Homo-oligomer: A and B are copies of this chain.
């Protein structure tokens, strides 16, 4: 681990032995002006498909440059087939949720609009860029796809066959699954491998109609997140931790 280059870049080009990787203007600026690298310097490269490669700077210019791939330093590590659905909140916290979901390991991030969600739109491109940065930072070799904002009812209407939805519903009293129950449910489940999703409720809670609809859906598994009410970004990390340690890639 210690001999892997410290600077990591997610690039949109094929990676393989001897492959030349042309740099975008932004990446060239970052490597050569901000980080002051020169020819011969090493950078870790990944693209979400080919694992992580050691790239060596071949040409360094003000507006561009190139690296050559020398060898693979880590294989591609895909996250579990897990989606995170959440209702966008204040900008900083929405950014944090995308960052944390990437670090924790999800395949796809779906911002959803609920009845009590204020946001009418999100900057999908900006959130996707946050996911890229988080993947560069956390040593991952995969970048989750950030989808555009959709209405929760649309997402539920098109729900893929077999995929389970773990519902974190802070405002709800009563019966929720515990972690061992979740694992047991998965072990007993037919059509395994259809994946999972986690839905974090909006800060204002679900409406009565939404809550009734969600709890009536056969693929929904409600879970409890302790006796205090968690903010959405806290709840996202807590729920992802429970998933990763029971059904995901932390085992």
Residues of A at the B interface (CB closer than 8 Å) are: 1, 77, 92, 96, 99-100, 103-105, 137-140, 171, 173, 178-179, 224-231, 234, 237-238, 240-242, 244-245, 249-251
Q: Are B242 and A138 in contact (CB under 8 A)?
A: no
B-chain residues with CB within 8 Å of residue A245 when the two chains form the complex: 179, 242
Partner of A229, one of B138, B228, B244: B138
Q: Are B105 and A228 in contact (CB under 8 A)?
A: yes
B-chain residues with CB within 8 Å of residue A249 when the two chains form the complex: 226-227
B-chain residues with CB within 8 Å of residue A104 when the two chains form the complex: 226, 228, 230, 234, 238
Partner of A250, one of B77, B103, B139, B224: B224
User: Do A226 and B238 contact each other (CB < 8 Å), given the known contacts A137-B231, A173-B1, A231-B103?
Assistant: no
Partner of A103, one of B138, B234, B244: B234
User: Do A228 and B1 contact each other (CB < 8 Å), given the known contacts A234-B237, A238-B104, A245-B179?
Assistant: no
The 3 A-B residue pairs with the shortest CB-CB distance in the complex, in nearest-first order? A237-B237, A226-B250, A241-B241
Q: In the assembly, what is the distance between CA of A139 and CA of B225, in Å?
A: 13
Closest CB-CB distance, A19 to chain B, in whole Å? 25
B-chain residues with CB within 8 Å of residue A244 when the two chains form the complex: 226
Q: In the assembly, what is the distance between CA of A224 and CA of B104, in Å?
A: 13
A77, A105, A241, A242: which has the most chain B beta carbons within 10 Å? Answer: A241
Q: In the assembly, what is the distance between CA of A225 and CA of B9, in Å?
A: 23
B-chain residues with CB within 8 Å of residue A230 when the two chains form the complex: 103-104, 138
Q: Are B100 and A234 in contact (CB under 8 A)?
A: yes
Q: Are A227 and B250 in contact (CB under 8 A)?
A: yes
Closest CB-CB distance, A138 to chain B, in whole Å? 4
Closest CB-CB distance, A84 to chain B, in whole Å? 14
Using A100-B231, A104-B228 as known contacts, list a sample of 11 further A-B pairs with CB atoms less than 8 Å apart, ordered by residue number in A.
Answer: A1-B171, A96-B96, A99-B231, A103-B234, A104-B238, A138-B230, A139-B229, A178-B251, A179-B245, A225-B250, A237-B237
Q: In the assembly, what is the distance between CA of A230 and CA of B1, in Å?
A: 16
7 contacts between A and B (CB under 8 A): A104-B228, A104-B230, A139-B228, A226-B244, A226-B250, A238-B241, A242-B245
